[in-house]
């Protein structure tokens, strides 16, 4: 044997349950025991540190100081399921996982987490849906996308300055005719807004799913009237390979949820301030804004997300749907050459039409501002139609 | 040669390099010999083949892409480069028009000036999932390191400015546009050097070669060159010709009937449509600099 091996089950300095293994070359008497002791020592470092060159360098230095003439040491780290003891390989981004061997669900520190999953329906339904679109399915893939779902109550005190325009009647004395003038006024308002909200935060660092925003909104809506059931270990096991590992911890997701809810509270405060003005509001400036968000419940829920590609004509298109009812999220539909030509012709007609309207407006001596506005709108509509003729596909 | 402050090894300095990486212990250090902070890296979670398959599906969403692209595009080669970025955790009080605001932000500053003007310049990194740097891993994955030539002082300054901008933008969402924030008292300015793996791939379609770049950790397409189908170019050319012909006709019509506004506006709009079609027809390849997640 030319190398010494060691293998230990440990908990790292940042509390992660891991297996650490090491190989040292060349083999020497007593090296395996020294290597085992060393791995227990190295486990006092963080999970992140265990991947670096520095830990390897320190290991070689420590073994040399014990009198071993080692040339090389390799250290590997994997997660350890706290229930069945299986060695789990995850990307370093993962913070929660479902063990594919025993169905245990929890975080990388061994804390059990209740996982809720909505039912997925079956593949045949997706294929049937694609055929109803007139396409032939090429690939259908099911992934369970993780979300942290929070129920929260939000309150915010605010003070704002509202700038508004108000109609004021002037004149009417003697021969002077009465006329309506618009004057700009400002007023200070203050108050409190409060509301309850459900906020879903994708538990992945990059939501690399097609129709990701639509999926998030679906989760929020669905949670409000049908919360998914908590999954037992036996139920989780068969779907574990299709579950995307959450990469955002509950703490980080909570910060994201609070941040977006505070933004929403600011919008609510602006709307409330706007409603208090007696005229047409031009601007609302928040001068004081003190939000308070109380998270009442936070759960991890997996949405069954179908991504499919299909062939229609000579093109390949993609789509995404969710849930047992195969609710479409985002689907690309082919844009035929005839449709493209029609859009281009539409831009020509708009160009001609706007030219004619401006010509007539000029003859009828319409306000120059209206004239310029019409010309601008015409050019804009022409450009929009022309660029839509080269759009990738219809997305619905 | 510069001596590593952690393991004492002699490390070769590349031309222009301001922050060196020790290939033995992974320590990142400046020319003056001081460690620059934790040295982290993103891991490679996708193979070049997986990236190429994802890229082909993504490319098909563009109308210019030939319909047989999925079957005819041939993978040629792929280089893996680990690009250095400074990632800061900045927290403290920021002075705004409404008073002092306590905020914490994460800031990414490229540590390699070569990425300026490329899609890599705008990358925003998170520290989640980043692990300690391993040069052995870089070698095992066949990657190479881009030279880190943006020094610590320049990066620190840029980080504070970027943090002020970030806080101003964040507050601007609530308090309105034009919000300005100035760092008043920084409690934390934690600096880390993070190497991010990026694939730069080439492929062939027909008799031409094209390129694309993708993040090897999360598969985002960062830059792509895609061939334009000949039929698409011909159709765009017909569209351009028709638009210019209609522009000329409408100009003549306007003059003949003494419609000056019509003679000015309509040909102008039609000629613009023609120019746009011509632009589409003239491009042999379309270049996209967009993140996969946003498409």
- A55/B60 Cβ within 8 A: no
- B7/A57 Cβ within 8 A: yes
CA distance A237 to chain B (A): 23
**pLDDT one-digit tens code per residue, A317-330:** 888 899 988 999 98
Report B:67-86 residues touching A (Cβ under 8 A): 67-68, 70
Q: What is the rounded CA–CA span in Å between residue B188 and residue B89? A: 7
* DSSP string for residues in B132-143: E--HHHHHHTTE
* DSSP string for residues in A202-258: ESSSS--STTHHHHHHHHHHHHHH-PPPBPPHHHHHHHGGGBPPP-S-HHHHHHHHH
- A52/B173 Cβ within 8 A: no
CB A91 within 8 A of CB B46: no
The tokens describing B13, both together, are 């300095």
The proportion of chain A whose per-residue pLDDT surpasses 70, expressed as a percent, equals: 96
Domain ranges of chain B: 39-227, 230-288
To probe the interface with B, which of A97, A247, A351, A396 has the most B CB atoms within 10 Å? A351
Domain ranges of chain A: 4-80, 123-330, 337-395
Q: What is the rounded CA–CA span in Å between residue A268 and residue A259? A: 14
Q: Is B294 on the interface with A (CB under 8 A)?
A: no
Backbone angles phi, psi at B147, to 5 degrees: -70, 130
Q: What is the rounded CA–CA span in Å between residue B275 and residue B247? A: 11
Among candidates B57, B236, B262 on the partner chain, residue whose Cβ is nearest the Cβ of A359: B262
**pLDDT one-digit tens code per residue, A4-40:** 999 999 999 999 999 999 999 999 999 999 999 999 9
**CA B149, chain centre distance (Å):** 18
The tokens describing A116, both together, are 């809720």
Among candidates B133, B243, B250 on the partner chain, residue whose Cβ is nearest the Cβ of A52: B133
DSSP A178: P
**pLDDT one-digit tens code per residue, B133-151:** 999 999 999 999 999 999 9
- Quick one: which of B260, B268, B259, B240 has its CA closest to A351? B268
Q: What is the rounded CA–CA span in Å between residue B228 and residue B91? A: 48
Backbone angles phi, psi at A125, to 5 degrees: -65, -40
Residues of chain A neighbouring B39 (CB-CB closer than 8 A)? 52
Residues of chain A neighbouring B173 (CB-CB closer than 8 A)? 263, 266
- A47/B265 Cβ within 8 A: no
**pLDDT one-digit tens code per residue, B10-19:** 999 988 899 9
Question: Bridge partners of A327?
Answer: A322
**pLDDT for the residue B294:** 39
Q: Omega into B207 within 30° of 0, i.e. cis?
A: no
- Compare all CA atoms of chain A with the CA of B23 and give the residue at the minimum distance: A53
Q: What is the rounded CA–CA span in Å between residue B77 and residue A133? A: 37
The tokens describing A372, both together, are 């310029």
**pLDDT one-digit tens code per residue, A381-392:** 999 999 888 776
Q: What is the rounded CA–CA span in Å between residue B7 and residue A60? A: 11
**pLDDT one-digit tens code per residue, B41-95:** 999 989 999 999 888 877 876 767 777 788 889 999 999 999 999 999 999 999 8
- Quick one: which of A119, A378, A69, A339 has its CA closest to A227? A119
CB A159 within 8 A of CB A189: yes
Hunting for tokens 């950790």 — which residue is that?
A: B217
Looking at per-residue pLDDT, the higher value among A79 and B233 belongs to: A79
End-to-end alpha carbon distance in chain B: 46
**pLDDT for the residue B71:** 81
Question: Bridge partners of B203?
Answer: B75, B210
**CA B288, chain centre distance (Å):** 11
CA atoms within 13 A on the CB side of A206: 20
Average pLDDT, chain B: 88
């Amino acid at each position: 044997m030319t190398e010494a091996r060691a293998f230990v089950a440990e908990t790292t300095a940042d509390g992660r349950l891991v297996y650490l293994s090491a190989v040292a070359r060349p083999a020497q008497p007593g090296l395996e025991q020294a290597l085992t002791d060393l791995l227990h020592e190295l486990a006092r470092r963080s999970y992140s540190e265990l991947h670096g060159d520095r830990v390897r360098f320190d290991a070689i230095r420590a073994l040399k100081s014990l009198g071993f003439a080692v040339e090389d040491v390799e250290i590997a780290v994997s997660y350890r399921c706290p229930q069945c003891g299986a060695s789990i390989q995850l990307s370093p981004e993962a913070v929660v996982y479902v063990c594919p061997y025993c169905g245990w669900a929890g975080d990388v520190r061994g804390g059990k987490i209740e996982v809720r999953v909505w039912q997925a329906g079956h593949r045949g339904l997706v294929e049937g849906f694609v055929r109803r679109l007139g396409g032939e399915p090429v690939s259908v893939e099911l992934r369970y996308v993780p979300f942290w779902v929070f129920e929260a109550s939000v309150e915010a005190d605010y003070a704002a300055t509202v700038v508004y325009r108000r109609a004021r009647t002037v004149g009417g004395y003697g021969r002077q005719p009465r006329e309506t003038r618009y004057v700009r006024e400002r007023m200070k308002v203050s108050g409190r807004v409060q509301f309850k909200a459900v906020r879903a935060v994708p538990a992945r660092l990059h939501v690399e799913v097609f129709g990701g925003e639509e999926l998030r909104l679906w989760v929020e809506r669905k949670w409000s009237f049908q919360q998914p059931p908590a999954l037992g270990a036996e139920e989780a096991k068969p779907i574990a390979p299709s579950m995307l590992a959450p990469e955002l911890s509950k703490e980080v997701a909570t910060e994201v949820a609070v941040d977006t809810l505070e933004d929403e509270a600011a919008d609510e405060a602006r709307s409330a301030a706007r409603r208090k003005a007696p005229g047409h509001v031009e601007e609302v400036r928040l001068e004081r804004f003190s939000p308070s968000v109380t998270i009442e419940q936070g759960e991890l829920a997996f949405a069954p997300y179908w991504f499919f590609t299909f062939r229609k004509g000579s093109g390949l298109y993609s789509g995404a749907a969710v849930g047992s009812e195969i609710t479409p999220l985002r689907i690309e539909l082919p844009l035929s050459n005839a449709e493209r030509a029609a859009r281009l012709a539409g831009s020509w007609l708009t160009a001609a039409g706007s030219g004619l309207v401006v010509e007539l407006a000029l003859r009828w001596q319409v306000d120059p501002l209206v004239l310029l506005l019409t010309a601008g709108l015409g050019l804009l509509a022409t450009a929009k139609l022309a660029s839509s003729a080269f759009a990738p596909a219809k997305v619905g | 040669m510069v001596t590593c402050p952690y393991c004492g090894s002699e490390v070769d300095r590349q031309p222009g390099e301001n922050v060196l990486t020790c290939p033995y212990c992974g320590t990142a250090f400046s020319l003056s010999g001081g460690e620059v902070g934790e040295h982290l890296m993103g891991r490679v979670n996708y193979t070049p083949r997986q990236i190429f398959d994802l890229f082909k599906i993504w490319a098909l969403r563009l109308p210019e892409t030939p319909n047989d692209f999925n079957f005819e595009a041939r993978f040629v080669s792929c280089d893996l480069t680990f690009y250095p970025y400074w990632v800061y955790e900045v927290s403290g009080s920021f002075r705004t028009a409404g008073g002092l605001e306590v905020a914490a932000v994460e800031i990414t500053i490229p540590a390699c000036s070569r990425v300026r003007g490329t899609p890599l310049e705008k990358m925003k990194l998170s520290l989640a999932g980043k692990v300690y740097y391993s040069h052995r891993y870089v070698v095992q994955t066949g990657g190479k390191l881009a030279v880190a030539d943006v020094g610590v002082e320049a990066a620190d300054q840029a980080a504070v400015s970027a943090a002020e901008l970030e806080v101003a933008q964040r507050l601007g969402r609530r308090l309105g546009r034009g919000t300005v924030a100035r760092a008043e008292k920084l409690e934390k300015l934690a600096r880390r050097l993070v190497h991010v793996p990026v694939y730069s791939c080439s492929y062939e379609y027909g008799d031409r070669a094209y390129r694309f770049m993708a993040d090897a950790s999360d598969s985002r397409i960062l830059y792509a060159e895609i061939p334009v189908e000949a039929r698409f170019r011909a159709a765009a050319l017909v569209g351009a010709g028709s638009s210019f012909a209609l522009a000329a006709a409408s100009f003549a019509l306007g003059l003949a009937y003494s419609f000056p506004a019509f003679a000015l506006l309509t040909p102008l709009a039609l000629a613009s449509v023609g120019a746009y079609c011509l632009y589409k027809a003239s491009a042999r390849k379309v270049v996209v600099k967009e993140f996969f997640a946003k498409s």
